[in-house]
Structure 1
């Protein structure tokens, strides 16, 4: 509904192109960082067995990111397209969709497990994906690219949230309440911005976009949950964590990805299409994954 609303107000010119950019800037710099700080900062630190599972989850995503970059190089896509498709293929909607879905399927007790996966998504995986994007789009040396990556507001907020979790530091009540209000707005504003982008760019994918979009969808909805199941099992993580990790691995591409791709690469429109198509397809695939891991 929110995606459709964004598309309508963009197509009717009620929201100009500059306004769409403003919504994206809000989500990137305020809304989504606030969500990460609060969701991660209030979660308990992982136990050793869960930590092994988190490492396996992260390694799986980084391997698939490498696959996307290799395929893009073989197909002679631009660096931004390859890295953008890779990011869209490994960074999932774990915070907005995955965690609430996991709680609805398994109960409130799994919220800490889901928060651990979110931390890996937006500290480790996002950092690798942003580093690849910065490095492949002419941002300079790998060292410079990584430096810019960790200054990215989403990555920095995830790191801060993880630090708060491990140290047990509680934010002052007024600051926590302000962050809570911004966090609550991140998902709806991001979805409206996504819909507006689709409304402004309401065209079929070009022939050149079909390959990267198909690769990103295949990695995110098929390869990611399958590889995570194998990796987490081999790591000896608890069955409860494996169920959560596989479910969240099968989530569609995060809304934040199209904002990042639009800001740092030439795959912004393609990433938006991956988010929309992946979200539609996941309406069928996620219930199947949930049923399989709940057994």
Structure 2
């Protein structure tokens, strides 16, 4: 366990640094958007391209792993929405609560952390989960969030908007280009590849620092908009589901697939379990704000999962990582 904590501590320490920098206004809140844009449009796509280009195509297109992870994501969404809906929490808030329960912070945190823990071969299964969460899980939850809409086309309009947003997100395209490079065995010329490598090297530290600053900004904005204390039952159960139920569900589904004789590699299953054990994706807070959901609730879930994951994720690595 101590060996695992030695690896995970710097990652979570950088998140804390970003959080404190924003809370203490050492980093102006207005500058956080620029940091986020650098990570999203430059550093992270470069890192994902590098990992994609260096990963065998079969690892990124594993149909059994795809089915297992997607089925668990859909179950997490359905279960969280069903649990959350009440007189106060309607479809918009329930849908974004379901998204933070099912969408791990794989891009900004998971890929570099898992590669540091398990080696470069962990990138392939992790990239597969990113594609599922970006393309399917996010689009589904955004469509569900519109069921409160006054007009009958609210959900379909939201689905179209989600698909447009996905098409403009550089992460799936960088993964696709990396997969194409891997499949064809073709790389950019050396000066271009060197530039990509420099950007990729910046992705992990800047992304982790940005996670913390985004969480701090979300908390500050949400606190300014709230009119009273939020009941713990509105956000704590979702955080527990993200950190405990999600990885256990993926583990159970994967073991069932193996028991049925399906070709699921145990190392791939371990990576997917650890992906599910990651804290909630910080960018869901930005989506919740854009779609006018209760961002205070979403920010609390993300902050709680990020803080608690230092221990819960490290415990998950100690339990399943060495056997992967």
C-alpha contact 1:85 1:215 (8 A) present in aligned 2: no
Residue 227, structure 1, aligned to residue 249, structure 2: yes
> 2:160 maps to what in 1?
144
Aligned to 1:132: 140
Q: Rg bigger for which structure?
A: 2
Q: What are the ranges of 5 or more consecutive residues in structure 2 without an aligned counterpart?
A: 1-12, 147-153, 259-263
Structure-1 separation of matches of 2:303 and 2:244: 16
Q: Partner of 1:39 in structure 2?
A: 51
Question: Which moves more between the two structures, 75-84 or 13-22?
Answer: 75-84
What's the TM-score once normalised by structure 1's chain length?
A: 0.80
Query: Against the structure 1 CA distance between its residues 195 and 247, is the aligned structure 2 distance closer, same or farther, given a 3 Å change threshold?
Result: closer
Change in Cα spacing, 1:160 to 1:123, as seen in structure 2 (3 Å) is farther
The whole-number CA distance in structure 1 between the counterparts of 2:140 and 2:272 is 24
Which residue of 87, 95, 108 corresponds with 1:83?
Answer: 95
SS of the residue aligned with 2:293? coil
- Encode CA deviations 1:247-280: one digit per residue, 9 max, x unaligned: 2321222344444444555355544443332233
Give RMSD over aligned pairs. 3.4
Consecutive unaligned residues of structure 1, counting only runs of 5 or more, are: none
Measured in 1, the distance between the counterparts of 2:40 and 2:18 equals 17
Please say if 1:251 is aligned against 2:263. Answer: no
Aligned residue for 1:223, secondary structure, equals helix
Q: What is the aligned counterpart of 2:308 among 264, 268, 281?
A: 281
Say if 2:215 and 2:302, in contact at 8 Å, map to a contact too: no
Count of matched residue positions in the alignment of Structure 1 and Structure 2: 291
TM-score normalised to structure 2 length: 0.74
Q: Find the aligned partners of 1:97 and 1:133 in 2 and give their Cα distance.
A: 22
User: C-alpha displacement at 1:173, in angstroms?
Assistant: 2.9
Distance 1:105 1:223, change over 3 A: same
Question: Cα deviations across residues 15-52 of structure 1 (Å, max 9, x unaligned)?
Answer: 33321222223333333333322222321122699541
